[in-house]
Structure 1
Amino acid sequence: MFARMNDKVSGNGTSKARRIKNFGWEGSGPWSQRAAYLSSFFEPQPLGLDDISAFYDTTNDLCYLAMSDPSVVEFIKEGNYDLAIATDYEFCPFLLFDIAKVPSVVSYVPTPLFPWNLHMSGVPTTPKVYASVLDAEHNQGFIHTTWHLIKSIYIIYYRIPAKNRNQTGVARQFYGPEVKDGHSLAHRTNILFANSNELLEKPLPLPHKVKYIGGLNLGEPKPLNAEFDRILSNAKKGAIVFSFGTQAPMKFVPFKIRKCFVEAFKRFPDFVFIWKYEKQPDDSELFNNSTNVHPLEWIPQWDLLNDKRVVGFISHSGLNSFNEASHAGMPMLTVPLFVDQLHNAKNGERLGTSILLRKTNITSESVADCLQKLLFDDRYRNRAKTISNMLREKPNKGKETFIEWVEFAAKYGNLHEHLNLPGSLMSPIEYYLIDLALIDISILVISFLVLKRILKSVFASSPREKRKRD
């Protein structure tokens, strides 16, 4: 079942689904207008208190569309499903599945885990150590920590509850007041799958219900076709794959940015650069005398990254690309553009597999300097190979983990009763022991005041006793 939010994505992602249901807006929806960064991603985007209000507003609107269309719930009921898989970003899927009487629900996030995912699982997420995925620059200093504390309080205790009230209210509007609260349903999800990997992420204190499945979609690489084989065979010292993914079309990449990359590539004539690139009107000027650059509208990225003739990867560091490069043992030059990409790039930098180039610092010189390090400093390649070996040999691979736990959750629909942390339903006053702290402080203050009064009385009576004796 697809809630069509982003009109830039039209595929189903699979050819194996038995039944498919789409709902959303006819034509272009509000997402493109609300998420302005999708067309101006090379502009600085300072983060505010509410980073993804466009996402909240759009999912609230989508929830209304789903609840107001009886065919959505009927589609779920007709499937007679033993288990449903919901996105863990909002409450509407949990509400829909409960209305349709699906006996067991698990959830997933296609990104790294966000604070509210952890909060609903009862995980302590102190801003001193863990900031949002969208705040990858967190330096744990006083100002940053204070800012993230304020932001966490706002998101977790105001914005998310407001979203729940909105979506639960819409569900009750169309299906009656007996519809359960969305937050309580989300809390009852049996398993939370995360599209990342514990070897690539910063360690987190997690409950048993959270399962990492990053790399789930990675199969065996396929042989390259004649065109790509010919390009790689002409590379004297190797090839570099370059892609900004599917959400950053070239028409939104300024000419001066593209020119910086091409000019930098020309400085490495013994390497070829395979660039996922949609044709633009200024291409004749851009690629003039750049014989080692191959702009192609489609590339088999996973297959290329696993070819021994490829020696580097320039990427926006989307999570799937980061996972692919990490599994393939490919050192990366990352140019994060938006959302979780800086978080992923910082993880690669921390692991020693990636070089981070800020999108606001792109010049032909900065690109060339990064490529010089990536191609001629063996530390990045060696570290990337080590991480790749660890991922390949790691017990409990993503695919097996996903299948086994989905089957287990389908059989035991009350799994959440065994896996939820006790703190997941506590108020912040209880969770952070604020009530006990207030009682202790009150006792100390009262004790101090009583002691002060006693001492004052003692010392006040002493001069009178002395005068009487005199």
Structure 2
Amino acid sequence: YASTLATSQSSISLNILMYVNAVGKSHIQFAEKLIDLLNVNGHKVDVIIGVLNSYVTLEGSYGARKLVAVKFPGESPWGAVAEHLKNPFVELSDWVRLKPDTNKFMETCHQMCDLLLASTDVAELMSSNTYDLALLGAYDFCPFALAYHHKISPVVSYTPTPAHFFQQYHAGLPELPLYDNVLFDTRHADYSIFATRFYETLRTFKERWMFYIACESANAKMRAHFGDNFPDVRELVMNASFDFTNSHPLLEEPRPISHRLRYIGGIGLPKARPLSKDINNILDLSKKGSIIFSLGTQIEPDKITEDLRRVFVRTFKRFPEYNFLWKFDGKTQFNATNIFNLEWLPQTDLLYDSRVVAFISHMGLNPFTEAAYAGVPVIAIPLFGDQIVCSCSTMRDAPLHSARPS
């Protein structure tokens, strides 16, 4: 029944515990969509949020019945060293990522686990309610161990990204190093086929080693906290009933799958609504159509240097027959009649408007999915994470969504 919880009306109202890894704002937004859909279908959702990224701000309860947010007392270890968050336009070499000390994310998850174990709010929430299901972010072992300790089952893992190593490995699926890299894809780079495969093989070994270290660390932590008989955390993850992945099979690389892996890409995708009068007026001004430009929620205006802004402005001014709707700050003057600086864009509504002829995007998973469903041509500017893989998939799958729905 787990695969239909969020998509169909049910006469059964379940109590669900959800753990959210707050890695980025888009991860919170995806979790909020799941919570909304579960609420609509009559289920009650309590949420624990582990704020791994200090740059993520939490707003409200996100529709949860009860919410516990666990934060680092200062800046998170990952946010303090995550260069891609501080300087998103500085390219990091693929080979640098192979260094053993480059992955602070797992270390941050490890320290977050200490905070979760020490939190009386987390312990009270998990022990004072009888839950029918645990829906857990698939980034580390800690939430699975806590669910086991508090006797919450069945367990379903989910990820706001395409399926990655953590889910595939614990589902017992074969590894295909050249195709399984969700976060960093080297096939766009100017490498030979041999060099690419060699790199991806090394990366796979590094990931295995990192997860082995993380697993042994989690085992030691749980046994110190709950006793020596606590089971291996790998077994707990392997016993998950389903793995939800925020992707669509037509938009992913071919890969081995099993009954555990359920594609839910596009779930909660909002329907297009009528545009405001101001936006309609902008779209009507263009001779050949309008182009929307957005680099996502993690790229604040101050991360785009003045020199880079000038490059974008000069480029857009060379196409006066098109209007550019740029999600920026709503204040900066660009001194161009065809560039409209907007603090917020109704992105979904715009993508389904026939006057919008292209989308310039960082190609995070959300805009990738929205553009694919809307059938809008994309100019990709990937910066980090799964944006690179989504951009490669956009080029590969272009024939699949080149025709817009009528």
TM bin, normalised by shorter chain, reads: 0.7 to 0.9
Does residue 349 in structure 1 map to residue 401 in structure 2? no
* Structure with the larger RCO, 1 or 2 (CA within 8 Å, 6+ apart): 1
Which residue of 162, 165, 168 corresponds with 2:219?
168
Match in the other structure for 1:384: 401
Q: Secondary structure at the match of 2:98?
A: coil
Kindly provide the amino acid, as one letter, of the partner of residue 253 in structure 2.
K
What whole-Å deviation, never above 9, does each CA across 1:181-209 have from its counterpart, x for those lacking one?
A: 21110001110011111011111111111
Distance 2:205 2:258 in 1: 22
Match in the other structure for 1:331: 377
Match in the other structure for 2:149: 99
Kindly provide the amino acid, as one letter, of the partner of residue 177 in structure 1.
D
What whole-Å deviation, never above 9, does each CA across 1:423-462 have from its counterpart, x for those lacking one?
A: xxxxxxxxxxxxxxxxxxxxxxxxxxxxxxxxxxxxxxxx
Kindly provide the amino acid, as one letter, of the partner of residue 207 in structure 2.
I
Distance 1:334 1:205 in 2: 28
Match in the other structure for 2:182: 133
Question: Hey, which of these two has a bigger chunk of helix by percent?
Answer: 1
Go from structure 1 to structure 2 and tell me whether the alpha carbon gap of 1:29 and 1:59 turns closer, same or farther (over 3 Å shift): same
Identity, % of aligned pairs? 34
Match in the other structure for 1:402: none
Match in the other structure for 2:339: 293
Which residue of 125, 133, 150 corresponds with 1:83?
133
Distance 2:345 2:176 in 1: 42
Match in the other structure for 2:200: 148
Match in the other structure for 1:66: 116
Distance 2:294 2:182 in 1: 22
Runs of 5+ in structure 1 lacking a partner? 354-382, 393-470
Runs of 5+ in structure 2 lacking a partner? 1-47
Q: Secondary structure at the match of 2:152?
A: coil
Alpha carbons 2:136, 2:144 under 8 Å: kept: yes
Displacement after TM superposition at 1:178 (Å):
2.8
Distance 1:336 1:14 in 2: 31
Alpha carbons 1:60, 1:163 under 8 Å: kept: yes
Does residue 315 in structure 1 map to residue 361 in structure 2? yes
Distance 1:174 1:140 in 2: 49
Does residue 41 in structure 1 map to residue 88 in structure 2? yes
TM-score normalised over the length of structure 1: 0.71
Q: Secondary structure at the match of 1:132?
A: coil
Displacement after TM superposition at 1:14 (Å):
6.7
Which residue of 35, 42, 53 corresponds with 2:103?
53
Which residue of 257, 271, 275 corresponds with 1:220?
271
Higher gyration radius (CA): 1
TM-score normalised over the length of structure 2: 0.82
Distance 1:348 1:336 in 2: 11
Displacement after TM superposition at 1:215 (Å):
0.7
Give aligned pairs, total: 353
Kindly provide the amino acid, as one letter, of the partner of residue 5 in structure 1.
L
Deviation larger for 252-261 or 138-147:
138-147
Q: Secondary structure at the match of 1:85?
A: strand
Does residue 23 in structure 1 map to residue 77 in structure 2? no
Distance 1:269 1:338 in 2: 31
Displacement after TM superposition at 1:12 (Å):
5.4
Aligned pairs for 1:276-287 within 5 A: 276-278=327-329, 283-284=332-333, 287=334
